[in-house]
Amino acid sequence: MGGTWADLGAGTGAFTLALRELVGAQAAIYAVDKDRASLDELERAYARRFADTTSLHLRQADFSSAPDLPPLDGALMANALHFFRDKARILRGVHARLKPGGMLLLVEYNVDKGNPWVPFPLSFKTFESLAARTGFTAPRLVATHPSSFLREFYSAATQKA
């Protein structure tokens, strides 16, 4: 697949590693997170798993405030969007960073009512309408998985319209 991708809200990198498996060794991956210690842990895990770490670019930044990134072929947001009340603003920002036809992969809890740890989740149904309002194609539900925390997770894919 290749290209230039970003993991927005990368944390310690569980999904960054999965993204690397998906997009391949030729892709450049920008891991963006506010927490330096998490990015350092991600860098160590990436180095253990993949021989070549030149494809990983760490950015300590709040992804909601336009970090320095090149135009993206794709973006991953895994358990990150639920921290923002104004999801439309965040998604418009992601949309602006994507190249035409660029892909957004989303992993979220499939509920609309949160708790103190997951304050603003969004169900797939809610994401469908939000994607349309923020310039994305109709999302495709990729998979669901049970969660003991908030019913279930889902993964979805959409593209810059």
Question: Is pTM beyond 0.85 here?
Answer: yes
CA distances from 63 to 11, 16, 81, 88, 127 (A): 12, 15, 10, 14, 19
Q: What range defines the domain where residue 125 resides?
A: 4-159
Per-residue pLDDT of the chain (161 residues; tens, 9 = 90+): 799 999 999 999 999 999 999 999 999 999 999 999 999 999 999 999 998 888 999 999 999 987 789 999 999 999 999 999 999 999 999 999 999 999 999 999 999 999 999 999 999 999 999 999 999 999 999 999 999 888 899 999 999 99
Domain total of the chain: 1
The CATH number for 125's domain is: 3.40.50.150
